[in-house]
Amino acid sequence: MYYQTLVKNLFNDMHHFLNGVQAISLEDLKDNYQEEPLFLAFIGNLDQAAAVDYNRAMNESYAFYKKFCGKELAEEDWDLVILEVQEFNKNWENIWCKGLILALLDILDREDRELRGEGQEPGEGSTQAEADGDMEQEEAELTEDDGQQEMEAA
């Protein structure tokens, strides 16, 4: 549950920050999220976020996360995760978007390891390398849910 709350809150805060919905400073965000890789992905290459429809990219990446979070993922689930990350990267050929989806992939990996009770550090698996394209490419369709409404409702 920790990861789901973290992701929801961070997406909400970044939505407010990027859209000027609520006065929130980058310094406040830094104080709240410190060295969280997802936060670093949001603020890293921030100039590249302006080059895309960042709200749509955030909605799609959040919907991706919600689809797989909160449960132990079987091997076939991870195969689907990798395919969807590859499809997202193909649709969003942008370094900011890629950083965002890879940070979410890392969170899914951390969450899955925690649910399984494994002691490995996050990122030790090959999941991220596979998502970068080391796996055979196949078509996968991103599903959108009402992630934006959920992000704003918090």
Asked if residue 37 lies in contact with residue 106, where contact means CB atoms within 8 angstroms, the answer is yes
- The encoded tokens of residue 140 equal 């996968």
| CA 30 to mean position of chain CA atoms | 18
User: What does the H/E/C string look like for the chain?
Assistant: CHHHHHHHHHHHHHHHHHHCCCCCCHHHHHHHHCCCHHHHHHHCCHHHHCCCCHHHHHHHHHHHHHHHCCCCCCHHHHHHHHHHHHHHHHHCCCHHHHHHHHHHHHHHHHHHHHHHCCCCCCCCCCHHHHHHHHCCCCCCCCCCCCHHHHHHHC
Q: Say if pTM beats, i.e. exceeds, 0.85.
A: no
Tens-digit pLDDT profile for residues 42-85: 999 999 999 999 999 999 999 999 999 999 999 999 999 999 99
What is the count of structural domains for the chain? 1
Q: Is the pLDDT of residue 20 over 50?
A: yes
Q: Is the pLDDT of residue 151 over 90?
A: no
Categorize the per-residue pLDDT at 136 as very low, low, confident or very high, splitting at 50, 70 and 90. Answer: very low
Q: What is d(CA 143, CA 65) in angstroms, rounded to the nearest whole number?
A: 11
Q: What is d(CA 5, CA 69) in angstroms, rounded to the nearest whole number?
A: 11
> What domain range is 92 assigned to?
2-153
